[in-house]
Amino acid sequence: MNPLTSQIASIVGTSYVIDDPSGYPAYAVQGRISTLVVAPGSVEELAHVVAAAHAAGVAVIARGGGTMQAWGRPPATDFIIVQTTRLSHVCTYEPDDLTISVEAGTSLQALNTLLDTNNQMLPLDVPLPARSTVGGVLATAMDGPRRLGYGTARDLLIGVQVVEATGRISKAGGMVVKNVSGFDMMKLYTGSLGSLAIIVSANFKLLPRPRAAATIACAFSSSADAFALARAIYESQLTPVAVEYLFGPHPQPLSLSGRGVGGEGCLLAIRAEGLPAAVERHVRDVAAFAERAGATSVSVLRDEAHTAAWAAINDLPQTFSLAEGELLLRLSCLPADLERALADASPLAVRHGLALTVAARALSGIAYLRVRGDDEGALRQFHADLLAHWPQVAILAGSPAIMAEAPIWGANIPNLALMRRIKQEFDPDNRLNPGRYVV
Amino acid sequence: MERTNLVEELRQIVGPRGVVNDPHALMTYDADGCVMDTGVPQVVVLPTSTVQVSGVVQLAARYGLPVVPRGAGTGLTGGATAMFGGIVISTARMDKVREVDIRNGRVLCQPGVINFELSQQLKPYGYQFAPDPSSQKACTVGGNIANNSGGPHCLKYGITASHVYGVEMVLADGTVIWSGDGSPAVSGYDLTGVIAGSEGTIGLVTAAWLKITRLPEAVRVVLALFPDIAGASNAVSQVIASGLLPSALEMMDRLVIKAVNDMYKLGMPDSAGAALLIEVDGVEDGLDELLNDVTAVCWRNGAIDVRPARTLAEQNQVWAARKNAFGAMGRLSPTYYLVDTVVPRTRLPYTMEQVGRISKEYDLPIANVFHAGDGNLHPIILFDRRAKGQNQRALEAATSIMHVSIEQGGVISGEHGIGVEKQDYMTLLFSTDDLAAMAGLHQSFDPKDIFNPGKVFPKGRGCGELAALRKAGVAWIE
């Protein structure tokens, strides 16, 4: 064992260190093997490990469920993996306060199962919730369809504790939902891809579980018609919590009667939650709007069918398992431009001989595009062509070559100088997730 | 450097009408809503454009003068006060709504737009700007962004940071950046997010894309009176447990009830120890049923009177009493000190008991208005600052309340920010390491401390010094 390895083993215990990760492909990051994998059992152990790595001049990549490690460029240097999943305790949960403090290695599913027992929820609908951890969701700022109704992690996070590049532990925010005590470090760390600090625990504000819920799934023969429905909903007084546009093969729970399994095409799935009478109002009005917009069929899903539909939809943007010749792109634009962006993407895919599946937050300006084809050149060209018109396209997952070479974080990213200064303040030696994010 | 040169150069940038340097006029800028801490600026400028702001900031840097951004000056912590002199940049002449973009749910504003007026302008479109601080008829959106302002409706709709899509900001070297425009997922760090709540210490926001919120189809309000705060607090818990987040949950105690009762002729009985204002909104369907449920919860928890306000006129009357509660304090005493702190909701009843104890201990009446839904309390210490020793007692009472709040798991500011007033409380909440991280963020933007120096961080602990602590090697050495 080299000195760093033995030092780390003495901090966490040898059974929590893998000193030869080559036999564990799950821990590879963009095809690169780490020098070791360590699973600390507490915040203090994690901090101590990071300090040891820093002193030894070794980079650190934090890993939760590994569901989004496909994101980003390959690591720029050798690195160790700090596996966070042993940090899975609930630190504080007083249901009447509608707040919770959890360690970052807790999975979203475990968290929501706990909240469910008190009729509460944290509506962060990320892919693969059984594996995705709180820390990973925050580091990536991955969103979910219910961002429309409830916001994203950025809006629900009220406090955070991190381990910095040197192993220092620091915190910000608190356990209260209104707080202007000092700078909002929560906003800095959210979405920073572990490049400024490692999130070790997080405090969230919670919501009561709604009394009723339903899905109205509307099939269309064209995206124009589907977006006409989305617009009608937007202009009305309705308050759906999610409006998802899907294109491509429908997830099994959404295969509509009359189309059978493997239905495909354009679908708008609307999620309504709240008082029972309010949900029924949404069901009635959306169905009426859908008909006026030319829907070819409308289905109302409740209870298990409703839950299954959204579990499937939420998983669509997953980057944990990528097929051969597949890219997962995230396109971001002004909400009213989304229809046009997708109208550009669709024929572009056809032109390059690629299969395209879309999962889009129709009223929020975000779309996840899964493109697939045998010709890597075609994939790269598709991305380049799309990027030329829509500068905020990110490649979240792709082949190692593409992730290393393409402009995966978009074109003309603004404020790079300022972001470099921030990185320089927080991680001057570039030890945290080096080379993976924009700076 | 010659002051007359400074004034002349400033006139070149903002025009002669844009410079205030008459000593009497400057004194009107020596404080914001926090009258305890004053500082007279060397000069005040009122630019009309981003280019002018950038010019002034560059000039300030050349002269080695601090820059203090100022909106309406309604802040309660000295955030807009020139504690170290320098140039106050007022946004009063940058008060235009530039573009209303309904299709994209956003509006482009200059920082001097008044919060309430923005919502009034959006009303004909069926929209509002959701953050609604009590000072909204005077405060500016620039100030709201700087302070990450709250308001009663933030319980359901979130605080200001959740309603800012992107800002144009002038940095310490005069560079102008845009942090976002309304597209949701910009690659890179969330600059918009850290700018909100930074209290004018890292730049001056010269324009903002703000999120606009659809006005709800229907609103229902209940005013319930309880013999004491405990019963009202229990009602609050049960309302939330019923599965709906109200759009507002406000509480007033006996003293406040008395003051607003007199002013607004609400006819509330003297036996009321607490008044609870519950608002729910959404589509019409189900709201009346919900209103009945809420009413029932109140009766079950010992309410002595429950008044559903169904019509707009009734609702406005009830809300006026709440929104103007601070203004009504003049009926009770010549001066008041408004404390802003937050505790977890379940600690409210105990904290209120302690506030009562502190009131007796310092022999000063304390009235209470608070955002019961999110635990943000506003003890109002009533005194007469002309009377000997009362100023001091009021300050000490406030400090005691802050200590109780922190003991109960709270924080030192719910909405008003830190500014000058609370800077020395920061160490009650944050360790040196915590402060050093914040200082690091500050240093990335404004390493020379041009903007609003001496605010937020504890007195005598400069950002540079704090940030440097983090560079002192690793946390553990074997």
Residues 6+ away with beta carbon under 8 Å from B270: B258
Question: Does A179 sit within 8 Å of B342, measured CB to CB?
Answer: yes
Reference B285, options A275, A31, A200; nearest CA is: A275
In this predicted structure, what is the pLDDT of residue B282? Answer: 94
Cα distance between residue B278 and residue B291, in whole Å? 9
Interface of B with A in 446-465 (CB under 8 A): 456
In this predicted structure, what is the pLDDT of residue A263? Answer: 67
Instruction: Identify all chain B residues contacting A184, using CB atoms and an 8 Å cutoff.
Output: 148, 161, 193-194, 196-198
The answer on A186 and A53 residing in a single domain is yes
Residues 6+ away with beta carbon under 8 Å from A81: A21, A27, A29, A34, A36, A37, A38, A61, A62, A63
List pLDDT tens digits, range B13-58.
999 999 999 999 999 999 998 877 899 999 999 999 999 999 999 9
β-sheet bridge partners, residue B5: none
The answer on A195 and A121 residing in a single domain is yes
The answer on A343 and A203 residing in a single domain is no
Tell me whether the CATH fold assigned to B218-314 matches the one assigned to B333-407. Answer: yes
Reference B340, options B145, B68, B76; nearest CA is: B76
CATH number at residue A331: 3.30.70.600
A320, part of any domain: no
> Which of B289, B412, B475 lies closest to A181 in CB terms?
B412
Q: Are A199 and A138 in contact (CB under 8 A)?
A: yes
| Domain topology for B333-407 | Alpha-Beta Plaits (3.30.70)
Terminal CA-CA length for chain A: 33
Terminal CA-CA length for chain B: 52
Cα distance between residue B84 and residue B96, in whole Å? 30
The answer on A10 and A53 residing in a single domain is yes
Q: One-letter amino acid identity for B287?
A: L
Cα distance between residue B158 and residue B436, in whole Å? 28
Instruction: Identify all chain A residues contacting B429, using CB atoms and an 8 Å cutoff.
Output: 174, 181-182
The answer on A280 and A186 residing in a single domain is no
How large is the ipTM?
A: 0.96
The answer on A419 and A398 residing in a single domain is no
Specify the CATH number of the domain B218-314. Answer: 3.30.70.2190
pLDDT tens per residue across all 439 residues of chain A: 789 999 999 999 999 999 999 999 999 999 999 999 999 999 999 999 999 999 999 999 999 999 999 999 999 999 999 999 999 999 999 998 899 999 999 999 999 999 999 999 999 999 999 999 999 999 999 999 999 999 999 999 999 999 999 999 999 999 998 899 999 999 999 999 999 999 999 999 999 999 999 999 999 999 999 999 999 999 999 999 999 999 998 787 887 544 444 567 899 999 999 999 999 999 999 999 999 999 999 999 999 999 999 999 999 999 999 999 999 999 999 999 999 999 999 999 999 999 999 999 999 999 999 999 999 999 999 999 999 999 999 999 999 999 999 999 999 899 999 999 999 999 999 999 999 999 9
Q: Which two three-digit tokens encode residue B459? A: 């007195």
Strand pairing class (A36-38; A79-83) = parallel
> Which of B183, B445, B467 lies closest to A334 in CB terms?
B183
A331, part of any domain: yes
The answer on A251 and A172 residing in a single domain is no
Residues 6+ away with beta carbon under 8 Å from B24: none
Question: Does B241 sit within 8 Å of A96, measured CB to CB?
Answer: yes
β-sheet bridge partners, residue A29: A32
Q: Which two three-digit tokens encode residue B109? A: 């504003």
A266, part of any domain: yes
Cα distance between residue B311 and residue B66, in whole Å? 51
Strand pairing class (B366-371; B43-45) = unpaired
Does B173 touch chain A if contact means CB atoms closer than 8 Å?
no
Question: Does A169 sit within 8 Å of B346, measured CB to CB?
Answer: no
Does A208 touch chain B if contact means CB atoms closer than 8 Å?
yes
The answer on A59 and A178 residing in a single domain is yes
Cα distance between residue B63 and residue B53, in whole Å? 15
In this predicted structure, what is the pLDDT of residue A331? Answer: 98
Reference A254, options A359, A164, A183; nearest CA is: A359
Q: Are A87 and A103 in contact (CB under 8 A)?
A: yes
Task: Give the domain extent around A415.
Answer: 1-209+411-439
Specify the CATH number of the domain B97-214. Answer: 3.30.465.10
CATH number at residue A280: 3.30.70.2190
In this predicted structure, what is the pLDDT of residue A259? Answer: 46
Question: Does B285 sit within 8 Å of A280, measured CB to CB?
Answer: yes
Mutate to test the interface with B, among A100, A176, A241 (most CBs of B within 10 A): A176
Give the closest-approach CA distance of A166 to chain B in angstroms: 5
In this predicted structure, what is the pLDDT of residue A35? Answer: 96
In this predicted structure, what is the pLDDT of residue B348? Answer: 84
Reference B45, options B76, B8, B78, B75; nearest CA is: B8
Does B378 touch chain A if contact means CB atoms closer than 8 Å?
no
The answer on A117 and A47 residing in a single domain is yes
Does B162 touch chain A if contact means CB atoms closer than 8 Å?
yes
Reference A247, options A364, A378, A349, A374; nearest CA is: A349
Instruction: Identify all chain A residues contacting B431, using CB atoms and an 8 Å cutoff.
Output: 170-171
A321, part of any domain: no
> Which of A154, A171, A210 lies closest to B190 in CB terms?
A154
> Which of B182, B189, B434 lies closest to A172 in CB terms?
B434
What is the domain count for chain A? Answer: 3
Cα distance between residue A88 and residue A107, in whole Å? 8
The answer on A86 and A19 residing in a single domain is yes
pLDDT tens per residue across all 478 residues of chain B: 566 799 999 999 999 999 999 999 999 999 998 877 899 999 999 999 999 999 999 999 999 999 999 999 999 999 999 999 999 999 999 999 999 999 999 999 999 999 999 999 999 999 999 999 989 999 999 999 999 999 999 999 999 999 999 999 999 999 999 998 878 878 999 999 999 999 999 999 999 999 999 999 999 999 999 998 888 988 888 887 777 789 999 999 999 998 888 887 778 888 899 999 999 999 999 999 888 889 999 999 999 999 888 888 888 888 888 888 877 888 888 888 889 989 988 888 889 889 999 999 999 999 998 888 888 989 999 999 889 999 899 999 999 999 999 999 999 998 899 999 999 999 999 999 999 999 999 999 999 999 999 999 999 888 888 988 887 767 775 5
In this predicted structure, what is the pLDDT of residue B344? Answer: 87
A96, part of any domain: yes
Residues 6+ away with beta carbon under 8 Å from B437: A162, A164, A170, A172, A185, A197, A426, B470
Instruction: Identify all chain A residues contacting B411, using CB atoms and an 8 Å cutoff.
Output: 174, 176, 179, 181
Does A41 touch chain B if contact means CB atoms closer than 8 Å?
no
Does A409 touch chain B if contact means CB atoms closer than 8 Å?
yes
A381, part of any domain: yes
Cα distance between residue A98 and residue A85, in whole Å? 24
Instruction: Identify all chain B residues contacting A421, using CB atoms and an 8 Å cutoff.
Output: 444-445
The answer on A183 and A46 residing in a single domain is yes
- Class of CATH domain B3-90: alpha beta
Q: Are B376 and B415 in contact (CB under 8 A)?
A: yes
Q: Which two three-digit tokens encode residue A73? A: 């460029």
Helices (H), B17-149: 23-27, 50-63, 115-122, 141-147
Q: Where are the domains of chain B?
A: 3-90, 97-214, 218-314, 333-407, 431-469
Instruction: Identify all chain A residues contacting B437, using CB atoms and an 8 Å cutoff.
Output: 162, 164, 170, 172, 185, 197, 426
Question: Strand, coil or helix: what is B121?
Answer: helix
CATH number at residue A100: 3.30.465.10
Largest CA distance in chain B: 71
Strand pairing class (B87-90; B67-70) = parallel
